[in-house]
Amino acid sequence: MVVLKRVIDWRAGMSLSRIVLRLARNPGTEFADGDDHRGYTLVAPLTDDGLLDERAFKANREKCTVRRFAPDDDPAEGKLARKGDRWFFDYDEGDTDDEPIHRLGQHKFALGEYVSVADEDGRMLTYKVTNVDAYG
């Protein structure tokens, strides 16, 4: 009974963060200078040192969302998802629209850090963490 109470208390105390990633400089692409109008807004639980909190994610995955934004496209709403060690952004059923994130579980979500996300053509583009705020 005590163990169950601790799990419930831990889930109730879980906090989410709103993380904004903006397209960073990507030399050799059409985004050589970056683009602050392209990126992602992610809602996810973080540990005290800024890493994704895997345990909190498992308990609250329905609250972990992503929104892709770009000036020439409508925003795409999806979920943060994980299969095994692979993290990705999932927008629809199936895996044809999934956007893998390179080593997402090892990235620190702090201002100025970088994250690589595969675009719809499979090429990895670098994004910079520009905001990390408490969510909800």
Mean pLDDT, rounded, for 109-129: 89
Which residues, listed in sequence order, are joined to residue 19 by a DSSP beta bridge? 42, 132
Return d(Cα 8, Cα 11) in angstroms, integer. 5
* pLDDT of res. 5: 36
Please give the model's pTM, rounded to 2 decimal places. 0.83
Higher-pLDDT residue of 128 and 61 is: 128
Q: Look up residue 93 and give its DSSP letter.
A: S
Q: Which domain holds residue 11?
A: 2-135
Per-residue pLDDT of 19-75, as tens digits, reads 999 999 999 999 999 999 999 999 999 999 999 998 999 998 899 999 999 999 999
- Of the ranges 5-14, 94-103, 113-122, the best mean pLDDT one: 113-122
Residue in 125, 127, 13, 103 with CA at minimum distance from that of residue 51: 103
- Where residue 136 falls among pLDDT bands split at 50, 70, 90? confident
pLDDT digits (tens, 9 = 90+) for 62-110: 999 999 999 999 999 999 988 887 788 888 765 555 666 667 667 789 9
How many folded domains does the chain comprise?
Answer: 1
| The pLDDT value given to residue 3 | 41
Strands 114-118 and 99-100 come out as unpaired
The answer to whether residue 6 scores a pLDDT higher than 60 is: no
